[in-house]
Amino acid sequence: MIDNNVRISRVALIGTGFVGSSYAFALMNQGIVNDLVMIDLNEDKAKGDVIDLNHGKGFAPSPMNIRFGTYEDCKNVDLVVICAGANQKPGETRLDLVEKNLKIFKSIVDQVMDSGFDGIFLVATNPVDVLTYATWKFSGLPKERVIGSGTILDTARFRYSLGEYFKVAPNNVHAYIVGEHGDSELPVYSSASIGTTPIRKLISRNDKYKLEDLDEIFVNVRDAAYSIIQSKGATYYGIAMGLARITKAIFSNENSILTISAHLDGSYGEDHVYIGVPAIINRNGIREIVEIDLDQDEKYKFSNSVNVLKDILAPYFEECKPKS
């Protein structure tokens, strides 16, 4: 287990495609980690990224060791970040990727664990909730030390869009997207606020705002990945920043609340699923899940999202099958 007194921060990045390389770039620019090992089946690509990043270290805020490595190097790192896997193609949902990526992840996680790794997993590959559950099962690590990127990006998109609508900075928007990182996710409007003012109250006070506009904002947030993929083939900058944010929360022992994919074991009345919920993140991973008070409609939609994921997991994991 990670010792809170040890300040060296070591990361192994598996998968140096668009997301992985953007994440490495974000780490270097923000000075978040001391040591980064980059691993990829395409060794030339990974080695090229290492050289390119090292050439920029003179402009970085703090020293950082960046090197090419193999799965054996995972033994001594604190955090393994998985960005490898089959990509989402135009017209393909995140859940269409399940069959391909479960096989890839079994191989990846087995090799990481064979190295003697005993840290935290952070999963970014889609469908992220399903693959985070698989990583937990394949690794045998405690659920607190297996984290998915969940709805951290959806929540950031949501806050940005609400900020644009209400003309305030995104960091003054307090709102969450929860559930599957995908088509069944949902906005939690019942507790959303601008500053300290509930959004619904703000709308009732001002005729220029309309409740139906919120529906359009959410749909644009939910479908943002499809639009970006249609335009440029992949999304990577936003999720890379989200991964960097989670990494910072871990290594700085922040106890920050972030919407990540966490294992539910009774929280929200659900179990046997990894799904996007607010959780407190620190040096040991997930300290605890934060339960938002959902209204009846939100509870129904969240339960539906859980069932969507369980239906995907059920053919592969016995405990996820419906109880007879």
So which residues are the catalytic ones?
Answer: 181
Angle 121-125-129 from CA coordinates, rounded to 5°: 75
Helix or strand (DSSP H, E) at 98: helix 98-114
279, β-bridge pairs: 258, 289
Q: At which residue do the structure tokens 């939609």 appear?
A: 301
* Burial (Cβ within 10 Å: 0-12, 13-18, ≥19) of residue 28: buried
Tokens of 195: 């500053």
Q: At which residue do the structure tokens 């287990």 appear?
A: 1
Query: What is the edge-to-edge ordering of all strands in the sheet holding 65-68?
Result: 65-68, 35-39, 10-14, 79-82, 120-123, 146-148, 256-265, 271-282, 285-289
Distance CA 78, CA 87 (A): 26
8-state DSSP, 8: -
The shares of helix, strand and coil residues in the chain, as percent rounded to the nearest 5, are 50, 20, 30
Distance CA 172, CA 88 (A): 32
Distance CA 150, CA 126 (A): 10
275, β-bridge pairs: 262
| 87 in Cβ contact with 234 (< 8 Å) | yes
35, β-bridge pairs: 10, 65
